[in-house]
Amino acid sequence: MLKRVHFGTSVLPYLLLAPQIIVTLVFFIWPASQALYQSLLIEDAFGLSSEFVWFENFENLVSDKTYLNSFQRTAMFSFSVAFIAMSTALVLASMADRVIKGALTYRTLLIWPYAVAPVIAGALWVFMFDPTLGIFVYALKAIGYEWNHKLNGNEAMFLVVVASAWKQVAYNFLFFIAAMQSIPKSLIEAAAIDGAGPVKRFFSIIFPLITPTTFFLLVVNVVYAFFDTFGVVHAITQGGPAKATEILVYKVFYDGFVGLDLGGSAAQSVILMAIVIVLTVIQFRYIEKKVEYT
């Protein structure tokens, strides 16, 4: 934590920390405590008076069907994104781990979507699935399927999941391939001598050994799907049709900025904070374990 040899007490460390601490206090801790406080208030429609109501906002949320639905939807959405992005990346990484020629070129061509902003990813996919013009819609029509995600909630959900997962494959791929390449070659060779074929080796050696990475990625992907996909949803569906794609982060934004329900939005923020805290704790717990594996 601290160097064995260090500089003595003076005003300097405080000065060095000041910028970071000031930004943290003003833009993180103060707003977060405001959110906590506001979550206990109910404001009238004109924002003129507010009343301290303890946990009424939370009680309202828990009994609010649209909120519970959004919660369920977000969970479903997150795990779908995580599953699709991770399994695609796993397949690609295990293949890339096999090839020697062109491995770097493949990596280059696979990782760049990481750099694409979520909202642009949304724009790309919404264009390809535009109900009147989209290239995929045209192809689907050719095999007799009428696509319209502006009307069909399931199709809308499918589209946001695919667009979100598309962006995340790159990240997972990098971590999977790094994990696979850190497995000692001698282990693979020992298994080969024991007579295990490539497929068997993958399931009995490689996959178990990269479990820590898999678990880590699962957490990261869920966090990504929870918090970083606002742009995708905003670009593709705006939460529609009929709230079919309204995930929690979108709802906080919508209820707060469009619906102007400050107390309710703050209460949602607090719940999201709790989720982030739980996920962060899981992630850090895991990192302690990771030390044993490497």
**Residues in region 72-111 near other proteins by CB under 8 A:** 88, 91-92, 95-96, 98-100, 102, 106-111
Of 62, 76, 135, 242, which lies in the binding site for other proteins, with binding defined by CB under 8 A?
A: 135
Q: Within positions 20 to 59, which residues make up the interface with other proteins, using CB under 8 A?
A: 20-21, 23-32, 34-35, 38
Q: Within positions 224 to 263, which residues make up the interface with other proteins, using CB under 8 A?
A: 227, 230-231, 234-235, 249, 252-253, 256-257, 262
Span of 52-60, 62-70, 122-130, 202-210 interacting with other proteins by CB under 8 A: 122-130
Which of 239, 232, 248, 256 has its CA nearest to residue 76? 248
Tokens of 40: 């206990």
CB of 232 to other proteins, least distance (A): 10
Q: How far apart are CA 85 and CA 73, in angstroms?
A: 18
Q: Contact between 133 and other proteins (CB under 8 A)?
A: yes
CB of 231 to other proteins, least distance (A): 4
Q: How far apart are CA 36 and CA 270, in angstroms?
A: 6
Task: Indicate the helix (H) or strand (E) that contains 52.
Answer: strand 50-52
Let me know if 150 is exposed, middle or buried by CB neighbors in 10 A (0-12, 13-18, 19+). middle
Give the three-class secondary structure for 150.
coil
Q: How far apart are CA 65 and CA 101, in angstroms?
A: 55
CB of 102 to other proteins, least distance (A): 8
CB-wise, 158 or 227, nearer to other proteins? Answer: 227
* 41 beta partners: 52
Q: Degrees (nearest 5) of the Cα angle 271, 274, 280?
A: 145
Span of 51-59, 60-68, 75-83, 127-135 interacting with other proteins by CB under 8 A: 127-135
Tokens of 133: 């013009």
CB of 224 to other proteins, least distance (A): 11
Q: How far apart are CA 106 and CA 187, in angstroms?
A: 25
CB-wise, 53 or 123, nearer to other proteins? Answer: 123
Q: How far apart are CA 168 and CA 171, in angstroms?
A: 5
Q: How far apart are CA 156 and CA 151, in angstroms?
A: 8
Q: How far apart are CA 233 and CA 229, in angstroms?
A: 6
CB of 204 to other proteins, least distance (A): 14
Q: Contact between 276 and other proteins (CB under 8 A)?
A: yes
Of 57, 78, 80, 265, which lies in the binding site for other proteins, with binding defined by CB under 8 A?
A: 265
Q: Contact between 293 and other proteins (CB under 8 A)?
A: no
Q: Within positions 167 to 206, which residues make up the interface with other proteins, using CB under 8 A?
A: 169-171, 174-175, 178, 188-189, 192, 198
Of 80, 216, 239, 244, which lies in the binding site for other proteins, with binding defined by CB under 8 A?
A: 216
What sign does the dihedral 114-250-216-36 (CA atoms) show? positive
CB of 48 to other proteins, least distance (A): 16
CB-wise, 13 or 208, nearer to other proteins? Answer: 13
CB of 54 to other proteins, least distance (A): 19
Q: How far apart are CA 249 and CA 233, in angstroms?
A: 10
Give the binding-site size for other proteins (rule: CB under 8 A).
Answer: 101
